[in-house]
Amino acid sequence: MTLAARIDRRFALMFLVMLTIAAGNTALQSVLPALGRSLGVADRAVAAAFSVSALLWVIAAPFWANRSDRHGRRAMILLGMGGFAVSLTLCGIFLAAGINGWISGTAAFLAFIGGRLIYGTFGSAAPPAVQALVAGETTREERTKALTLLASAFGLGTILGPAIAPYLLLGTIGGIEIGLAGPAFAFALFGIAVFFTVRTMLPDDRAPLITTHSASSAYPSIGGAPTGASVAAATESHSEKVGYTDPRIRGWMIAGLVMGHAQAMTSQAIGFLVIDRLNLAPALALEPTGLVLIMGAGAALLAQWGIIPRLNLGPRQLVLSGLVIAAIGTALTGIATSLYGIATAYALASLGFGFTRPGFTAGSSLAVGPAGQGSVAGKVTSINGASFVLGPSIGVGLYEAQHSLPYLAAGAALVVLFIYSWLALRDRAV
């Protein structure tokens, strides 16, 4: 096999690693609202499971990125895929225990949260190492294109996860009802298969000449389409440290934090909204919920891959136009009463967020010089990840108070942010 063929084969494997991690996480997210309702667990407990996981991801990802630079990429990829598989296996076991009545629904979800801690802590080790491995096998001219394609695996995963989940519901096996816990077990098996494939195909690189550095990736979540920040962080130098409150990027950081929380609030509550607005039994909610999530993820990717490249809009224009679209979409989602209405409104909101996220990334990057690109890219990735720490719990908490509230509150916040962004944000090419 030629060197080029080996590199192409290795890239395909790394793409599969990223795709599996994103699809497995979002598949579980799409199932959890129905599972929580069937087990009689409070909606806020479902959101807390992913908030805790996202928090640990944000904390652990930079740590594992540094370890990857010192101890090799293969070990970190295996650690991440191992954590992914172990986490989903334990989550499936705990959920099945609750479904079969061996433990209470509350106990099942507390144990489930423990399983999610493993995902957030160890699953975050793989993406930085994958990025660094691909970067190390490409020329500088090829690197950005290759890493951008690699990052798109997360975006594809947000579509494939909810799309596949309804087909992974399992019946009774050996007298044990699996049901809605099926996606957890299925993706655990996918993770194990990828783990052993990586172990077989990748050579040991514990003592390489490191010529590239790792960069942490944002938490893979519903609505969390790629922004390109992690690509910049993996390819640019870190010679200038730029703080969150630096006047050059402060306005962009505020905008990114508000936009991110609005998106996380609305995306995490959407499964509950589908169940309640359509008056569905939890077991029948998977397909309509998956349809809504697929349309939302597809709209976001359409914006980033299809529409934006054809428009000559600066970062400020992207943010402002996206805020208008997202505000209208979130408000309409909150008042929609049919599956068609919810799916269309949610897709409109996701289209708007598909504009704002690249605008936020590009505006932050253009605000500083070449020496600050790596530092700013790290801040952007951190903001994107942090939004999925508190955002889901805030959104579901508001939803429990009144079903339309998280969507109307998000819409109002985006309107206020539009006014702020109009005054505070400026396009500046360096």
- Which stretch of DSSP H or E encloses residue 172? strand 170-173
Closest C-alpha to 123, from 22, 46, 229: 22
The helix (run of H) or strand (run of E) holding residue 304 is: none
Return the higher-pLDDT residue of 172 and 110.
110
Separate counts of helices (H) and strands (E) for the chain = 14, 2
pLDDT tier at 410 (50, 70, 90 boundaries)?
very high
Token digits of residue 55? 């928090």
DSSP 204: P
Share of the chain above pLDDT 90, in %: 38
Lowest mean pLDDT among 35-44, 53-62, 129-138, 413-422: 129-138
Question: What is the per-residue pLDDT for 5?
Answer: 56
Mean pLDDT across 73-100:
93
Looking at residue 369, what is its pLDDT? 80
pLDDT band at 133 (very low <50, low <70, confident <90, very high): confident
State CA 212 to chain mean position distance.
Answer: 24
Query: Is the pLDDT at 153 greater than 70, yes or no?
Result: yes
Tell me if 98 sits within 8 A of 107, measured CB to CB. yes
So what's the pLDDT on residue 175?
A: 77
Q: How far is CA 195 from CA 77, 164, 409, in A?
A: 8, 20, 42
Is the model more confident about 10 or about 13? Answer: 13
Percent of the chain with pLDDT over 70: 87
As a whole number, the mean pLDDT across the chain is 84
Summarize pLDDT for 207-233 with one digit per residue, the tens: 554 555 555 666 676 665 555 555 555
Predicted pLDDT at 427: 65
pLDDT: is 11 or 192 the higher one? 192
Pair 318, 362: CB distance under 8 Å: yes
The residue assigned the tokens 């939004």 is: 387
Q: Which residues pair with residue 265 across a beta bridge?
A: none
Residue 380's pLDDT is what? 80
Q: Please give the pLDDT value at position 430.
A: 43
Selected residue with higher pLDDT from 333 and 427 = 333
Q: How confident is the model at residue 241 (pLDDT cuts 50, 70, 90)?
A: confident
pLDDT for 107 equals: 92
Better-predicted residue by pLDDT, 223 or 314:
314
The gap between the terminal CA atoms of the chain, to the nearest Å, is 44
User: What φ, ψ does residue 213 adopt, rounded to 5°?
Assistant: -120, 155
- Res 372: pLDDT: 75
Structure-model confidence comparison of residues 348 and 386, the more confident one: 348
Based on C-alpha coordinates, what's the Rg of the chain? 21
Over 70: is that where the pLDDT of 390 sits? yes
The answer to whether 313 and 321 are in contact (CB under 8 A) is yes
429 has a pLDDT exceeding 50: no
Q: How would residue 53 be classed by pLDDT, with cut points 50, 70 and 90?
A: confident
| pLDDT value of position 209 | 46
pLDDT at 323: 96
